[in-house]
Amino acid sequence: MSHPSPPFRSSHPPFSPAQARAARLRIGLTPEQVIAAIGQLGVHRPVQALMCWEAGTVAPSEAELFALADALWCPVPVLMDLRPRSLREHRLARQFSAERLALRIGMDLRDYVRAENDHHWNGTDRQTLVLADALGLEPDELLRVIGRAGELDALLRQAVEGRWKQFTAPLARLVGVRERAVVDAVRTLHQEYARFNERYMGHLVARSDTARLKEIATERAAWLHGLADRFLHLVGHDERR
């Protein structure tokens, strides 16, 4: 016996009535023409539905939002009036239904819906890579969406402070890039971190003044703070070569 899919906590996607009206006026369509256009896309609604969307009294469903975006030649994020950040928002921006995206990445629909509702991703490495490809996510965006940005920071700290080679495979899986690119990036980071330590110890042995030691320590702290961004930049540069 089949079981119904768990409902989304929000039945309607984010929507900006002002942006929808502005998009329609920008291309010079009447409400009747927009309704006719979305009807050709298989979404049949009365003109009053569009008037309610533009007035903000009713929000369109996901299917209605997708059809409206196509009819207005307008990107979905513009109609949502936001920069996608959550998993659901990125899915909507790419005009995927939950069913279609779950099928694309090979995940049970209930598990996928739960991931969106709970903001907790439990997909396999392969499912995560396919998700990134389907939604066009860069490594840093992917990590934020699936809630693993903190894991990246922790792995990188351990890599630069210790025996870095053992961390290349986990890092490659985490960010979804070739291990060769990660090896080159982490080797570079390890060398940069070592130079900070060499400079600090050199000044310490030379009995430099405390201000100079503090300056180097502050530079190292700033470098560590931007470690993930530096790593992703190096990986991206290597991937493009």
101-142: pLDDT as tens digits: 999 999 999 999 999 998 888 888 889 889 989 999 887 788
pTM of the model: 0.70
Write down the CATH number for the domain with range 87-145.
1.10.260.40
Single out the residue of 138, 127, 131 nearest to residue 240, CA to CA.
138
Q: What confidence tens digit (pLDDT) does each residue in 1-34 have? A: 444 444 444 578 999 999 999 999 999 999 999 9
| Alpha-carbon distances of 42 from 46, 71, 237, rounded to whole Å | 13, 12, 43
Report domain extents, the chain: 17-80, 87-145, 149-240
pLDDT band at 237 (very low <50, low <70, confident <90, very high): low
Q: The domain 17-80 belongs to what CATH superfamily? A: lambda repressor-like DNA-binding domains (1.10.260.40)
pLDDT band at 190 (very low <50, low <70, confident <90, very high): very high
Single out the residue of 92, 101, 104, 79 nearest to residue 17, CA to CA.
79
Q: What confidence tens digit (pLDDT) does each residue in 28-39 have? A: 999 999 999 999
pLDDT of residue 204: 61
pLDDT of residue 2: 43
pLDDT of residue 6: 47
pLDDT of residue 48: 97
**Whether the domain at 17-80 and the domain at 87-145 fall into the same CATH topology:** yes
pLDDT of residue 206: 60
Q: What confidence tens digit (pLDDT) does each residue in 53-65 have? A: 999 999 999 999 9
Rounded Cα–Cα distance for residues 25 and 72 (Å): 9
Rounded Cα–Cα distance for residues 65 and 85 (Å): 18
Provide mean pLDDT across the span 68-81.
Answer: 97
The amino acid present at 228, given as its one-letter code, is A
